[in-house]
Amino acid sequence: MNSRLNISLGRLRLQNPIIPASGTYGFGLEFAKLYDINCLGALCIKGTTVQPRYGNPSPRIAETEAGMLNSVGLQNPGVDKVTADILPRLRAVYHQPIVANISGFSIEEYVQLAKQMSDAEQVELIEVNISCPNVHNGGMAFGTDPSAAAEVTAAVKAVSDKPVFVKLSPNVTDITRIAIACEQAGADGLCLINTLLGMRIDLRTRKPVLANKYGGISGSCIFPLALRMVNQVSRVCQIPVIGCGGISTASDVIEMMMAGASAVEIGAANLTDPYVCMNIINELPQLMDKLGIDNLSDIIGITAR
């Protein structure tokens, strides 16, 4: 372990800032076959809902320059199965903090999910997803209105013993308004950004590539946009921010932290390079030497100051 990589998210200490993002790492078990996933700072599990969900019709995946679109629609086995069957299997191979990403279709569902996940062993952080663009009547509906975002945040905060981070949508006019509303409602931190809503058309069939028509864009093409939003939010909020969106190299990590992120989530890059999180963790110390950085915690928001 290299203490130069240590960072804090509020009262939670991580050995490094690298967290695989929800939906790109499953429940960690496939990656545990490839490398020792205990090298991670934390691990964010697949977004979990109260009821099991099949998700959207296929095709759910499309490609774009330097990125991809997905319209998975929160396919997951439901919170009971996740806490009873899957998390124990993860805990058998993984001993660092687990981030539980939760998605509700009502305030009551968010509250139930937060209670169950907050009670789950080794879950050290609740990530409240109010930004999934692929489901109707839920997800992003809470993330595009400051008062709805605040209401979810306060309700989850009231029942959770674990720190509550809210995952924000970039599909808004001014992300800082949502961020400030969540902070004022008691959020312990923020995570941004979720995917951007996009579309591709198959020129031969003249129909959308995705069966669900629209899907969330991720991958390196969204990095500058995510960086800008992290910078804007970290300038107006006091709570820690997890930067997410298009990060695929150690230098992206440094850049995102300079913009204001205390930790980062790696998303789509895990799908194309399954070893990317491990490689970034291994490469960070050397890159820090080259850039004259003693400790990663020194550079958080250095560009925003």
**CB 26 to other proteins: min, Å:** 4
Cis status of the peptide bond prior to 146, with omega within 30 of 0: no
**Closest CB to other proteins among residues 52, 186:** 52
- What binding mask, one character per residue, do residues 177-216 give for other proteins by CB under 8 A, x or -? --------------------------------x-------
What is the maximal distance between C-alpha atoms in the chain? 55
**CB 15 to other proteins: min, Å:** 23
- What binding mask, one character per residue, do residues 131-170 give for other proteins by CB under 8 A, x or -? ----------------------------------------
**CB 111 to other proteins: min, Å:** 25
| Alpha-carbon gap, residue 137 to 47, rounded angstroms | 16
From the CB of residue 106, how many other CB atoms can be counted at a distance below 10 Å? 13
Our answer to whether residue 237 is catalytic in this structure is no
Q: Which one among 25, 142, 165, 223 touches other proteins, defined by CB under 8 A?
A: 25
81 binds other proteins (CB under 8 A): no
| Alpha-carbon gap, residue 152 to 148, rounded angstroms | 6
Q: Which one among 12, 18, 21, 23 touches other proteins, defined by CB under 8 A?
A: 23
Residues 244-303 that bind other proteins (CB under 8 A): 268, 270-272, 274-275
Give the interface segment with other proteins, choosing from 57-65, 90-98, 235-243, 285-293 (CB under 8 A).
57-65
Place of tokens 């629609």: 73
Give the interface segment with other proteins, choosing from 18-26, 117-125, 164-172, 278-286 (CB under 8 A).
18-26
Give the interface segment with other proteins, choosing from 56-64, 172-180, 233-241, 297-305 (CB under 8 A).
56-64
Place of tokens 């006019």: 173
Percentages (nearest 5) of helix, strand, coil residues in the chain? 40, 20, 40
305 binds other proteins (CB under 8 A): no
CA 270 to chain centre: 13
> For residue 86, what are its two tokens?
């899957």
Q: Which one among 11, 33, 290, 305 touches other proteins, defined by CB under 8 A?
A: 33
- The terminus-to-terminus CA distance of the chain in angstroms comes to 29
Sign of CA dihedral 11, 231, 168, 176: positive
| Alpha-carbon gap, residue 179 to 134, rounded angstroms | 21
Q: Which one among 13, 38, 51, 63 touches other proteins, defined by CB under 8 A?
A: 63
| Alpha-carbon gap, residue 126 to 238, rounded angstroms | 19
Q: Say which of 132, 182, 221, 277 is annotated catalytic.
A: 132
**CB 295 to other proteins: min, Å:** 32
Position 77, amino acid: P
| Alpha-carbon gap, residue 270 to 18, rounded angstroms | 12
How distant, in Å, are the alpha carbons of 111, 155, 178 from that of 159?
7, 7, 21
222 neighbors 246 (Cβ within 8 angstroms): yes
**Closest CB to other proteins among residues 30, 161:** 30
70 binds other proteins (CB under 8 A): yes
Query: Which residues are identified as catalytic?
Result: 132
Residues that bind other proteins (CB under 8 A): 23-26, 30-31, 33-34, 46, 52, 54-55, 58-68, 70, 72, 75-76, 209, 219-220, 268, 270-272, 274-275
